[in-house]
């Protein structure tokens, strides 16, 4: 990794690759959640997220003590895999989609607008969230660690 000290890179091992795979998997399968919400099925999104979280917690408890940071990466990747698989399975089982092909067809403006009503606010929220997180991270990196000024201690509190 560019700009990262060698000892940190060695300590991280394959964690950055696992995290990249987790983000790619979640991005590729995240459309199912948006579709479920657009169809008024937010309970299914809750079930898929809950099952993924349960898998991550259980795997973290089992793997982190044995594998350390690698166990964390594996648990996070498992969270995404379980949540994406569950969302897509629940989406395919909806009666609204029964008998319909999943292949691309002619655009349906009403359905596109329905999805946009959900997708655009979700996207805007994520964009704002990551902009703020990026700003905070940048500010923290620029600020660095500062030592408090040293003052000579005397009197009753000298040892504290």
User: Mean per-residue pLDDT for 75-86?
Assistant: 91
Residue 27, pLDDT above cutoff 60: yes
**What's 149's DSSP letter?**
P
Write down the pLDDT at residue 58.
Answer: 94
According to the 3-state scheme, what is the secondary structure of 23-58?
HHHHHHHCHHHHHHHHCCCHHHHHHHHHHHHHHHHH
Share of the chain above pLDDT 90, in %: 12
Supply the pTM of this predicted model: 0.59
pLDDT digits (tens, 9 = 90+) for 82-109: 999 998 888 888 887 777 766 667 778 8
Parse the chain into domains and list their residue ranges.
14-97, 109-140
Query: Given pLDDT bands bounded at 50, 70 and 90, which one contains residue 13?
Result: confident
pLDDT digits (tens, 9 = 90+) for 121-157: 878 888 888 888 888 877 777 776 666 666 655 555 5
- CB 102 within 8 Å of CB 93: no
Write down the pLDDT at residue 54.
Answer: 92
């Amino acid at each position: 990794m560019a700009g990262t000290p060698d000892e940190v890179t060695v300590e991280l091992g394959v964690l950055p690759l696992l995290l990249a795979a987790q983000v790619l998997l979640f991005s590729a399968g995240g459309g199912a959640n948006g579709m479920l919400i657009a169809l008024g099925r937010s309970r299914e999104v809750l079930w898929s997220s809950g099952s993924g979280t349960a898998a991550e917690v259980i795997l973290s408890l089992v793997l982190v003590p044995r594998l350390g940071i690698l166990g964390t990466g594996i648990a996070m990747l498992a969270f995404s895999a379980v949540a994406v698989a569950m969302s897509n399975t629940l989406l395919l089982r909806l009666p609204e989609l029964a008998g319909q092909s999943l292949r691309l067809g002619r655009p349906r403006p009403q359905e596109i607008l329905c999805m946009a009503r959900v997708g655009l606010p979700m996207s805007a929220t994520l964009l704002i969230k990551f902009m703020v997180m990026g700003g905070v991270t940048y500010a923290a990196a620029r600020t660095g660690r500062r030592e408090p000024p040293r003052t000579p201690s005397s009197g009753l509190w000298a040892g504290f």
